[in-house]
Structure 1
Amino acid sequence: MDINDVIRTGIIDGINAHEGTVRATFPDRDDDVSTDIALMCAEQNFPRVGDSALFLFLPNGTEQGFCLGRYYHDGNTPPIPDQEVYVKKFDEDLSVQYDYRNKELTIVNAKNVVIRGDLYVGGVITSGESS
């Protein structure tokens, strides 16, 4: 098996949230459609149908492999192009951002923030927009 069969890019065309798998179409292989492929599971973050993703297959064929996840490309660029800012984007309207330089955590466009448990504040609470 050649390296082009082991590491491949494809387009997500189906998701099985109960099993933690995806199906993919491979445009470079005449739109060949995969069987269910396991997602890497460091966190629950399913790709969306239509997303480009990177796949790793075992050398014995495309029946066993893993979806390593989405990657940045021309149509999907980093939301904040700054290596000192961590961004967890949940959808177009909601993200959590951490600025390592300023040690500042920001929740962007959350409709509600729900806290279950105790909340301890060691500083001033203000209302309104931050600067």
Structure 2
Amino acid sequence: MSVIENLIRIGMVSSVDVKKHTVRVVFEDKDNLVSGDLPVIVPYSTKAKAYRLPEVSESALCVFLGNGIQNGFCLGSYYTDEDVPPVSNKDQVGTWFEDGSYVFYDQASGSLHVKAAGNVRIEGDLTVTGSITSESLKTKSIATDSITRAGEAL
């Protein structure tokens, strides 16, 4: 039974390796035993790539290969009574950050919401189809080489 009990474990992230995309996890119920470097599971990692690591002191759910806590994976984190979800709306899918920034899609309204605590940087061409509404435009002029409307240069 002890082998099965140790295959899936809950612990606390104790260190993060940003280059290897791994974490070490401490298991308080096992006398603060610390895992080896555990790769953090991502949704994709070949051509398209995802990058997000749990933070130190974040709860972690881990799975091990059956030969100790040195070989396994960190499946990710989960919400607790202290660390609650940022929203309680099943239609909103996104990422919310500690500084108040967020990017989320509201499936019910079909709206993409972006808020940045700092600047927003877009690299590449920008095409807007539809209206642009500004609630507080601070820039009085915009410098550009060309402006087109409905595909026609102005």
TM-score, normalised to structure 1's length? Answer: 0.91
**Residue of structure 1 equivalent to 2:23:** 22
**Residue of structure 2 equivalent to 1:127:** 134
Pairwise CA distance, 1:15: 0.5
Q: Which of 95, 103, 106 matches 2:102?
A: 95
Unpaired segments ≥5 residues, structure 1? none
Indicate whether 1:35 and 2:60 are aligned.
no
Bigger Rg, structure 1 or 2: 2
What letter is aligned with 1:123?
G
What letter is aligned with 2:36?
T
Q: Alpha carbons of 1:95 and 1:26: their partners in 2 closer, same or farther (altered >3 Å)?
A: same
**Residue of structure 1 equivalent to 2:52:** 45
Aligned residues: 129
Contact 2:104 2:114 in 1 (8 A): yes
Pairwise CA distance, 1:4: 2.0
Pairwise CA distance, 1:107: 1.0
Q: Alpha carbons of 1:74 and 1:6: their partners in 2 closer, same or farther (altered >3 Å)?
A: same
- Over the aligned positions, Cα root-mean-square deviation in angstroms equals 1.5
Contact 1:79 1:87 in 2 (8 A): no
What letter is aligned with 1:8?
R
Q: Aligned to 1:2, what secondary structure does the other structure show?
A: helix
Contact 1:11 1:51 in 2 (8 A): yes
2-side partners of 1:11 and 1:37: how far apart? 13
Provide the identity percentage: 38
Contact 1:52 1:70 in 2 (8 A): yes
Pairwise CA distance, 1:73: 1.3
Contact 1:22 1:36 in 2 (8 A): yes
Pairwise CA distance, 1:8: 0.6
Alignment of 1:62-73 (within 5 A): 62-73=69-80
Contact 2:25 2:35 in 1 (8 A): yes
Q: Aligned to 2:124, what secondary structure does the other structure show?
A: coil
What letter is aligned with 1:66?
F
Q: Alpha carbons of 1:100 and 1:118: their partners in 2 closer, same or farther (altered >3 Å)?
A: same
2-side partners of 1:108 and 1:74: how far apart? 26
Indicate whether 1:79 and 2:99 are aligned.
no
Contact 1:56 1:68 in 2 (8 A): yes
Q: Aligned to 2:90, what secondary structure does the other structure show?
A: coil
